[in-house]
Structure formats: structure tokens, C-alpha cells
Amino acid sequence: MIETVKNKIGFGAAPLGNMFRDIAEQEALATVEAAWTEGIRYFDAAPFYGAGLAEERLGEVLSQKNRDDFILSTKVGRLVEEEHEEKSGLFEFGHQKKVTTDFSADATKRSIEDSLRRLKTDRLDFVFIHDTSRDFYGDEWVSLFDQARRGAFKVLSQLKEEGVIKGWGLGVNSTEPIELALDMEESTPNISLAATQYTLLKHERALQRMLPRSEAQGGKIVVGGPFNSGALLGGDHFDYAEIPQEIKERVTTLNEIAGRHDVSLKAAALQFSTAHPAVAAVIPGSSRPERIREDLDSINAEIPAAFWQELREQKLVSAEVPLPA
């Protein structure tokens, strides 16, 4: 079903959880409504996004639509508790609720039930196991991955076998956990979400390892964070942290080349990420209604072959990447 996503573009709901800024409720709801109006029919969320806030906002709008008309995915691995907790970091403006990490079977079942309630729906299409990776948990990620293997993997595999969900996998900001899961003989995922890993700014490891392995097994990858937290579009963050100088310089070079060919970097980024045959969809996040039409125009924009050729000549993209036709 994921292959039916129009133009391979969906909606990433992380910004709806007040990521980086406090977003007015009506602005958030209007953004989801704009996505629907413009024809987007794949929506991805997670309990972690604003401690349930993103799911609640998404559910508020999507509960008014025909459930058979859209694809919905969320994540497990974190439980939102009612206990108050002061927030900082990515979602300091989200709900001030405690979020606990738990990849066990019981927690996975509870997480799905909680998400269904917040999303105001009776079913999910895809479920991703969230952030079992080094960037969040350091060396502890290996033991958490093992907990997920013994818990969440088995629960989600069973739900898929029973037809309750259409697919499951990892939802991470790295490629290593996805590669590890694809190498397992039991409970193998059929779709995973890799954020910030197959983009104009960073794609070598994904191209050499994750994408070929997924493709060989008939699996699919959803690309999240195609702009690397806004760095590619002139933002102050790269992969959810402060942008390093070397990335700023790379973006400057990309902008210079794009300018020579009259190409939008947003268009190049979206079309680059969706050109690989293993990629099912790209899900740029947005919290402003006007950005939705901009994203759709970008993914359909004409980009001259000379632009891609210059990127290859400058070694800004790998010689092996599948480029947009």
C-alpha cells in the first residue's frame, strides 16, 4: 500500500509536537488540513513528538476524514506518562509529560493502544520501532535493540501476520539498526524509516549498505528529514543539532551550483531522496500551511540533467546514486 503514495511524498508530523518552537494550535491544525487539501495521503507521527502532542493534533484533523483514504504510521518504544516533567531540547515546547523508554512486548502493545486513542483511529498501517540507535542512547543502544528484538519485533511481526498492520520496521536517525534488523533471520522488517540518512548532504552509507539490503529483500525505506533538520535550506540545525561549519560551506556550494542552473535546493533534495527504487516515500515535516504546496511544487519541478552532472563532477553526490529521470 505504501507504494501508492502519490509523488512519493508524505507528511512528517514531528513539527506538530512543537519541535524547536511553540506553534499555535490553529496553525498546526491548518497545516495538516493543507496537506490533505493538496492531496497528501500518508502521515507519520510518534508519541515522542511533543509527548503525544503531534499525534493529538494529527488525529484532530484526520479523524474527520475517511480512514480508508489515507495511510497512517506511528512509532513504539516510548510511553507518554501523565506524570509532569519539565522539557528541554527538541520538544521543550511540547506537553510537559514524562516520556519513558521501553521496547518490551507489553510496552509495545500499550504504546499502540495509546497512539490509537490520541490519533482518534481504530487502526495503523505501519509501525516503526523508534530510535534504537546510538545518537539517542550511546553504547546502550545495543542492549535496547536486543530488548526490542525480544519484545517489539515479535509483537509487530505477529500483528503483521494477522493482518492488523501492513508492515513494520525501525524508525531511526541512522542506518546501522536497520541494517542489523535486515540481517536477522527471524522477525525481519519489511519497511523502515531512516531520517537524515539519504539526503543531498549525507547518503554514502545508506547507498552502500541499507538501501541495497532492503531492496534485495523486497523491503522499502521511508526517508525522513530530507533537509537534515533544515540545514540544506539555510537553517541553524543539522541532524537536530547546531550546524557545523563544514556543512554550512557544503550548503553554500550547493546553493551556488543550484543558482547557476536555476534550481531550487528544496526541489533537488526531495527528488534526490525519492529517486532510489528502494525508497517508498519522503516525509518532510512542516508546521506552516504554505509549505505544503511548496513541497509538492518542488517534487514536481523540472531539474536539468546538467545540474546533477555538476554535482557528480564536484563529488557532492556519489557516482552510484540513482538520479531523477
The residue type found at 171 is G
Cα angle, residue 9 at apex, residues 7 and 12 outer, rounded to 5°: 170
Q: How far apart are CA 213 and CA 152, in angstroms?
A: 22
C-alpha cell read off for 231:
540545514
Q: State yes or no: is 49 an active-site residue.
A: yes
CB 90 within 8 A of CB 71: no
Cα angle, residue 98 at apex, residues 93 and 100 outer, rounded to 5°: 125
Cα angle, residue 5 at apex, residues 126 and 27 outer, rounded to 5°: 80
Cα angle, residue 83 at apex, residues 82 and 87 outer, rounded to 5°: 105
Of 42, 49, 198, 240, which is the active-site residue? 49
Buried b (16+ CB within 10 A) or exposed e, 126-158: bbbbbbbbbebeeeebeebbebbbebbbebbbe
Q: At 108, is the secondary structure helix, strand, or coil?
A: helix
The dihedral through the CA atoms of 229, 234, 237, 239 has a sign that is positive
Beta strand extents in the chain (DSSP E only): 11-12, 42-44, 71-76, 78-84, 97-101, 126-130, 167-172, 191-195, 220-224, 237-238, 241-242, 279-283
Q: How far apart are CA 246 and CA 262, in angstroms?
A: 24
Per-residue DSSP letter, 187 = S
| CB contact set of 113 (below 8 Å; sequence gap of 6+) | none
As annotated, the active-site residues are 49
